[in-house]
Amino acid sequence: MKYLITIIFITLYGVSAFAYESEVSKLAKDIASQVKSSKKTSVAVADFTDLDGNITRLGRFLSEEFSTDLSIELSRDDIVIYDRNSLKSILTEHKLYSTRLTAPDTIKQLGKLAGVDVLITGMLTRFNDDIRFTVKILDTETARIFGSTKGEIPNTGGIQELLDQGIIEQASFQTTNANSNSSSSIPSFINNKVLEFPKIRIKVEDLLYEKGNRVSVFLSYYNKTDKELKIGLVSPYSNWNYGNRSFLVDQQGNRFTFHSGSGLNRGWDHNGNAWSRGTTWLKITKKNWVPVTLVFSNEKVTQVDENAQFSLNSEQAFVEKEKITDTFSVTFKGIPCRNCKIIDQK
C-alpha cells in the first residue's frame, strides 16, 4: 500500500511531495531508540488522530509511513512490529474504538489481546503551512507514557490533498480510568458538561455569543488537592500567539481563535518556560472553585444560528516555579449557545 500511494504522489506532485519523508524517518528513529532502551520486544502503531481524537485520511497515511520506517529501525534488534491490519481486526472484533486508544483501560485490553508490550500513538495538528506531528510511546501493561517525540512536516500538495479528505473515523468519547504516568493528563470521565482529572474538575457553565464576532465560554475550575495549583494556557511558539492551542469550532467548521481570557491567560514556550511578562496564571487554592472566562473570535463569521453548538479545545498546563510540570487537554463537544441568534454583523 505504501508503494502504491508513493506512485500516486510522484505522478501528481513530483519529488516535492516527499518533503515529509525525512521528518517521518527522523521521528521513527527517535522512537525506535527509546523503545530499544526500554527492552520491550513487541510494538503496535495506532492510527494517528487530529486534536479532537478523530482519525483522518492524513493521519492513517502518516501512521502507515511511520510504521514502515519504525519497522526497519527495530528489525535490526529483533523487536516485532505488530501488523496494523491485524490490529484493526482485533479492535473491530472486540468492539474497541480506534479513537479511544489513549484511554488506559483500552490500552491495557489491547495489549493483552494483541500480545504487544508497546503502543505507539500520534497526533497531527495544522499550524499555518506546516503539520505538527507528536508521537507518544505507551506501556500496555500500565498504560503509562514512557517516551515521546515531535516534529513538523511541510504541508505540500500531496499532504494537503489527504488533509482535505478529512475525517474517516469520528472520535467516540467513553468513560475511562485515569491511570497514566502523569497525574493529570487523562480525564477519568467525559461528558458535555464536566471533565474530571485527578487534580482538578472543570465544568462548563455557559456559552454566550457577543457582538463583534466573539464567543465567550464560562468555565469553573475546582482544585481537588490539598495544595495550591497554578494553571495556564500552552503556546506552540515562543511569542504572544498563545491562542493557537485554544480554540472553538462551530457546527459548520468555523474556527474561533483565542482572543482573551479572565483568570486563565498565560502561555509557555517549547521548553516549558513561563513567559516573563503578561498576566499571571490561574491560581486555585485547595478544595476551592475558581471561575474562568475564555473569549474567542472569528471576524469572517457574519451569522450565528440560534441552534449553534460549539466544541472547545484548549491545551493547558500545571506550572511550578516558572516551569511546566504537566500538560492536559480540555475538550468539550456540543456546547449549546444560550443567546445565539441569526445576526448579520456586516
CATH code, domain carrying 331: 2.60.40
Burial of 219 (0-12, 13-18, 19+ CB in 10 A): buried
270-281 residue pLDDT tens: 455 554 444 457
State residue 183's pLDDT score.
Answer: 39
State residue 197's pLDDT score.
Answer: 84
Are 236 and 127 in contact by the 8 Å Cβ rule? The answer is: yes
d(CA 149, CA 122): 10
Cα torsion 267, 271, 272, 275: sign: negative
Q: Nine-digit cell at 112?
A: 493483552
Residue 238's pLDDT band (cuts 50, 70, 90) = very low
Q: What is the mean pLDDT of residues 232-256?
A: 68
Residue at 178 is within a domain: no
d(CA 222, CA 226): 12
Asked if residue 152 and residue 200 are part of one domain, the reply reads no
Q: What percent of the chain has pLDDT over 90?
A: 14
Residue at 211 is within a domain: yes
Are 304 and 255 in contact by the 8 Å Cβ rule? The answer is: no
Q: Which is higher by pLDDT, 87 or 231?
A: 231
Asked if residue 142 and residue 231 are part of one domain, the reply reads no
**Does residue 52 register a pLDDT over 90?**
no
Please name every residue paired with 290 in a beta bridge, in sequence order, or none if there are none: 221
State residue 260's pLDDT score.
Answer: 81
Asked if residue 198 and residue 152 are part of one domain, the reply reads no
State residue 236's pLDDT score.
Answer: 45
Tell me which of 15-19, 61-65, 181-185 is least confident: 181-185
H/E segment holding residue 261: strand 255-262
Asked if residue 217 and residue 162 are part of one domain, the reply reads no
Total domains in the chain come to: 2
Asked if residue 164 and residue 211 are part of one domain, the reply reads no
Cβ atoms < 10 Å from Cβ of 116: 21
Give the CATH number, domain containing residue 44.
3.40.50.10610
Domain span holding position 261: 189-336
State residue 29's pLDDT score.
Answer: 94
Residue at 181 is within a domain: no
- Residue ending a domain, choose from 123, 138, 169: 169
- CA distance readout (Å), 106 to 100, 167, 305, 320: 7, 22, 38, 31
Read off the DSSP letter of residue 268: B
Continuous H helices in the chain: 2-13, 19-38, 57-75, 84-93, 104-114, 157-164
179-196 residue pLDDT tens: 333 434 444 333 457 888
Residue 257's pLDDT band (cuts 50, 70, 90) = confident
Asked if residue 18 and residue 157 are part of one domain, the reply reads yes
Are 111 and 140 in contact by the 8 Å Cβ rule? The answer is: yes
Asked if residue 198 and residue 133 are part of one domain, the reply reads no
Residue at 183 is within a domain: no
Asked if residue 202 and residue 160 are part of one domain, the reply reads no
Asked if residue 327 and residue 289 are part of one domain, the reply reads yes
Q: What is the mean pLDDT of residues 105-112?
A: 82
Residue 7's pLDDT band (cuts 50, 70, 90) = very low
Tell me which of 88-97, 137-146, 239-248, 323-332 is least confident: 239-248
State residue 11's pLDDT score.
Answer: 41
- CA distance readout (Å), 189 to 91, 102, 121, 332: 22, 13, 21, 12
Residue at 290 is within a domain: yes
Asked if residue 213 and residue 133 are part of one domain, the reply reads no
Across the chain, mean pLDDT equals: 75
Torsions phi, psi for 302 (to 5 deg): -110, -10
Are 197 and 220 in contact by the 8 Å Cβ rule? The answer is: no
Q: What is the mean pLDDT of residues 319-344?
A: 75
Nearest to 102 by CA among 25, 180, 37: 180
Asked if residue 247 and residue 324 are part of one domain, the reply reads yes
Asked if residue 301 and residue 211 are part of one domain, the reply reads yes
Residue 55's pLDDT band (cuts 50, 70, 90) = confident
The cell 475558581 sits on which residue? 290
Are 124 and 132 in contact by the 8 Å Cβ rule? The answer is: yes
